[in-house]
Amino acid sequence: MTDAPAPPTRPHPSQQPEVPGGDVPGRSPQGVERNHPEQTTPPNVRRPRRRPGAAPTPEPLLTRPPEATPQGQTGARAASRDSRPGAAPPPEPLEARTPKLGRFLARAAAVTAALTAASALLGLVRDQTIAHLFGASVESDAFLIAWTVPEMAATLLIEDAMALLLVPAFSHALAHRAARRTQDPTLSHDAVRALVLATLPRLCAALACAAVLLILGAPWLVRLLAPGFSNPQLAVDCTRLTAVTVFTFGITGYFSAALRAHGRFLLPAGVYAAYNVGIITTTLTLHSLWGVRAAAVGVAVGSLLMILTQLPTFLKLTSLHRAPRHRTTPAPTPATAPLLATAVLAPVVLFAVGRQAQVLVERFLASPLPGGAISHLNYAQKVAQMPMVLSLMICTVTYPVVARAMAEGDREGARLRVERDLALAGLVVLLGTAMVLGYAPQIIEVLFERGAFDAHDTATTATVMRVYAVGLLGHCLVGALSRPFFSAGSTTWYPAAAMAAGLVVTTAAGAALAGGFGVHGIAAANAIGISTTALLLLGGLGSRVVPIRVRAVIASLGRLTTAAAAAGAAGWAAAPRVGDPLLSVAVGCVLVPTVFVLSGLAVRAPEVVHLLALTRQRFRHGR
């Protein structure tokens, strides 16, 4: 007769270790969630009926049934099997270890998406302000050449490179701090504080030197970016003013990565709102004195506001504002050191540079075209990419979860999380693509056609935006798939190589198409090149890092693409029938999602079926 399992002992609250994500509701000390195991079908949700003889509905990527252990038992039953006194702690069941978009992540994603949407709207107001004051002219083109600097800096130092490197580094530091405090709570050594003291001063010095070099080298940079531009001195002046963002964006990205690793997503998502407010206010205040240079000054002012927005919370979380109060002991080199080594840093930076170089190629090819060509490309791309930005908020919120799963060796949990992210992000971006395809002229007319931006600019920008929309899924997949490659903190050159291959395709296609098709050919080259990179990353992820089901992902995205094509065609046909552009867009906001959902059901897209089931469940329970 076996002994009854002893009740698990709990440490006193004062002895509870601080853990990564410890302030996240529903998260255990190992950084995983304590939600109930997933169910193939949510409670109180009826499965869609299948006609006799019909093909079964494909399994959705958003849900997965509970996995069984090799002994044939469920994870929870197998875990309780070895809970006798003296037995080694059993591994947590897969259902508990799998990162889930639970209540906290759902709230974080919703808040992040809302703030991103607000920032995007402010970005549109910023673009509207510049379009109203300067139109699509040589002045606006000069500012957009200088705008290349903050665009590149934001990609490298806030979104891609800095986040891909530092989120795993801070996650490891948090785990290291928790482990040491579990061993001896009286120790004051803080791995997070040590990481900041070891890296932030050096980063500040390097960024300051880079900003100074950029200011001095502005004439050569303008000559490289736009060799045929008609007013290079104006572009040089604007570039020197925007060069400060190399420093300010770097510090902003460092703060954002630290906050996200701690489970704080509100402020990192809100920095772009502060940034755009600074640009808009400065431009409106000073444009009568300095012309388009006022917008460049606004870029510098807005970037400083980004730092101030996050500084107090960063100081609080990293304990830099207070001295240690307990005894100290020498600590071993943090486990995060390899994550910031040059071998890991170089491929991340090259990938981010290659991704942003798509824009550099576009502006290089557009610089000899008639005045306003760069502006048309810029306005079209900014509006078209809004669905992509919103879709990637899902991956931004879950990236620390994927990084923690990879650090713990939970590749199955990482696979499930990545597949869910791809399904959700694909659904969001393809729904937005359908809206852009159907209502591009009306959207541009509502947003920009006023002041110096005339009907001709509206027509050109709208057609370019429709071409850009073809590559939105590729842009979304590149952003979503790059994160798992770098989440383990190991050296991998595959994403940089895939990005380089796509860049070669973009350059070759753009050079071939720009002469005959102008800005439309350049936009088409962008779509072709980024889609090439997305396919390479999708195929490489399953065989190199996370064993995702590539064929299932492609099949799911193919069904959603079919639904998006039908919804976009319906919107394209219906949009001209409503005379007022604002009313037409409002009608489209109802028509396009309706056709998308109906088409998704017709092609048996499982993600659409599942989301409808969850929606019915929410309304049924009044939540």
Q: Report pLDDT digits (tens) over 9-62.
A: 444 444 443 333 444 444 443 444 444 433 434 444 444 455 555 555 555 565
Mean pLDDT of 575-601: 93
Which of 46-55, 89-98, 490-499 is predicted least confidently? 89-98
pLDDT band at 567 (very low <50, low <70, confident <90, very high): very high
Distances (CA, A) of 584 to 280, 477, 571: 28, 30, 10
pLDDT at residue 363, rounded to an integer: 81
Q: CA dihedral in degrees (56, 60, 61, 64; nearest 10)?
A: -90
Average pLDDT over residues 83-89: 43
Average pLDDT, the chain: 77
Q: What torsion, rounded to 10 degrees, do the Cα atoms 378, 384, 387, 389 define?
A: -20
Higher pLDDT, 425 or 172: 425
Please give the average per-residue pLDDT across 129-143, as a whole number.
85
Residue type, position 13, single letter: P
Q: Please state which of the ranges 116-130, 304-318, 496-510, 549-563 shows the lowest mean pLDDT.
A: 116-130
Please determine, for residue 317, whether its predicted confidence score (pLDDT) is greater than 90.
no
For the CA atoms of 567, 573, 574, 576, the dihedral, rounded to the nearest 10 degrees, stands at 140
* Bigger pLDDT: 90 vs 136: 136
pLDDT higher than 90, residue 545: no
Whole-Å CA distances, 138 to 104, 233, 367, 373, 447: 48, 12, 11, 10, 21
Task: Kindly report which listed range (119-128, 286-295, 319-328) carries the lowest average pLDDT score.
Answer: 319-328
Q: Please return the burial class of 411, using the count of CB atoms within 10 Å of its CB with bins 0-12, 13-18 and 19+.
A: middle
Percent of the chain exceeding pLDDT 90 equals: 30
At residue 140, the pLDDT reads: 86
pLDDT at 579: 87
Q: Quickly state the pLDDT bin for 123 (edges 50, 70, 90).
A: confident
Comparing C-alpha atoms, which of 26, 103, 152, 108 is closest to residue 393?
Answer: 108
For residues 278 and 186, the answer to whether their CB atoms sit within 8 Å is no
**Would you say 492 and 485 are in contact if contact means Cβ atoms under 8 Å apart?**
yes
Better-predicted residue by pLDDT, 463 or 265:
463
Taking CA atoms, 214 is separated from 221, 276, 345, in Å, by 8, 23, 21
List the one residue out of 16, 314, 28, 20 whose CA is nearest residue 171.
Answer: 20
Contacts of residue 278, Cβ cutoff 8 Å, sequence gap at least 6: 298, 299, 301, 302, 303, 304, 305
- Give the DSSP letter string of 40-93: SS-TT-PPPP--TTPPPPPPPTT--PPPBPTTS-BHHHHHHHT-STTPPPPPPP
Q: Are 83 and 574 in contact (CB under 8 A)?
A: no
Tokens at residue 478, please?
A: 């590149």
Nearest alpha carbon to residue 128 among 139, 145, 140: 140
Share of the chain above pLDDT 70, in %: 73
pLDDT score, position 318: 80
- Copy the structure tokens of residue 296: 């460049």
Given a cut of 70, whether residue 392 has pLDDT beyond it is: yes
The mean per-residue pLDDT over the stretch 110-121 comes to 78
pLDDT value for 529: 94
Higher pLDDT, 257 or 51: 257
Angle at 184 between CA 180 and CA 190, to 5 degrees: 40
DSSP secondary structure letters along 147-173: HHHHHHHHIIIIISHHHHHHHHHHHHH
Query: Distance between alpha carbon 2 and the CA centroid of its chain, in Å?
Result: 52
Taking the C-alpha atoms of residue 366 and residue 358, their distance in angstroms, rounded to an integer, is 12
By the 10 Å C-beta count (0-12 exposed, 13-18 middle, 19+ buried), 50 is classed as exposed
Contact (Cβ atoms closer than 8 angstroms) between residue 402 and residue 483: yes
Least reliable range by pLDDT among 36-45, 94-103, 184-193: 36-45
**Distance, CA of 397 to CA of 114 (rounded, Å):** 13
Evaluate whether 443 touches 396 at the Cβ level (below 8 Å). no
pLDDT of residue 547: 81
pLDDT value of position 98: 43
Higher pLDDT, 368 or 528: 528
Contact partners, residue 604, CB within 8 Å, separation at least 6: 55, 57, 58, 559
* Euclidean distance between the first and the last CA atom of the chain, given in angstroms as a whole number: 48
What is the pTM for the complete model shown?
Answer: 0.65
Q: What is the reported pLDDT for 95?
A: 39
Please determine, for residue 71, whether its predicted confidence score (pLDDT) is greater than 60.
Answer: no
Query: Of the segments 380-394, 429-443, 472-486, 540-554, which one has the largest average pLDDT value?
Result: 429-443
Q: What is the mean pLDDT of residues 569-577?
A: 94
Is 465:387 a contact under the CB 8 Å cutoff?
no
> Is pLDDT of 609 > 70?
yes
Residue 343: predicted pLDDT: 57
Q: Three-state SS for 27?
A: strand
Both tokens of 285, joined, read: 């205040």
Asked if residue 426 lies in contact with residue 557, where contact means CB atoms within 8 angstroms, the answer is yes
The model's confidence at residue 488, banded by pLDDT at 50, 70 and 90, is: low
- Residue 444 near residue 383, CB atoms below 8 Å: yes
By C-alpha distance, which of 244, 247, 266, 246 is closest to 256? 266
Q: Average pLDDT for residues 474-487, to the nearest whole number?
A: 84
Specify the length of the chain in residues. Answer: 623
Mean pLDDT on 459-485: 89
Burial 208-218 (b: 16+ CB within 10 A, else e): eebbeebbeeb
Distance CA 191, CA 328 (A): 12
| Residue with the two structure tokens 């910031």 | 340
Q: How far is it, in rounded angstroms, from Cα 171 to Cα 104?
A: 17
Calculate Rg over the CA atoms of the chain. Answer: 26
Higher-confidence residue of 98 and 201: namely 201
Phi and psi at residue 33, to the nearest 5°: -95, 155
Q: Concatenate the DSSP letters of all residues of 579-608 into one string.
A: SSHHHHHHHHHHHHHHHHHHHHHHTT-HHH
* Neighbouring-strand partners of residue 68: 74
CB 348, CB 161: distance < 8 Å: yes
Q: Which of 306, 527, 340, 568 is nearest to 436 (CA)?
A: 568
Flag whether pLDDT at 501 surpasses 90: yes
Residue 345 DSSP label: H
Report whether pLDDT(65) > 70: no
- The mean pLDDT value for 514-519 works out to 88
pLDDT at 337: 45
Burial class (CB in 10 A: 0-12, 13-18, 19+), 488: buried
For residues 475 and 572, what is the distance between their CA atoms, to the nearest angstrom?
23
Would you state the pLDDT for residue 180?
67
Would the pLDDT of 91 be above 60? no
pLDDT at 218 over 90: yes
Residue-wise DSSP of 440-473:
HHHHHHHHH-STT--HHHHHHHHHHHHHHHTTHH
Q: Give the C-alpha separation, 255 to 539, whole Å.
A: 33
| Residue 422 backbone class (left: φ over 0; alpha: ψ -120 to 50; beta: rest) | alpha
| pLDDT at residue 106 greater than cutoff 90 | no
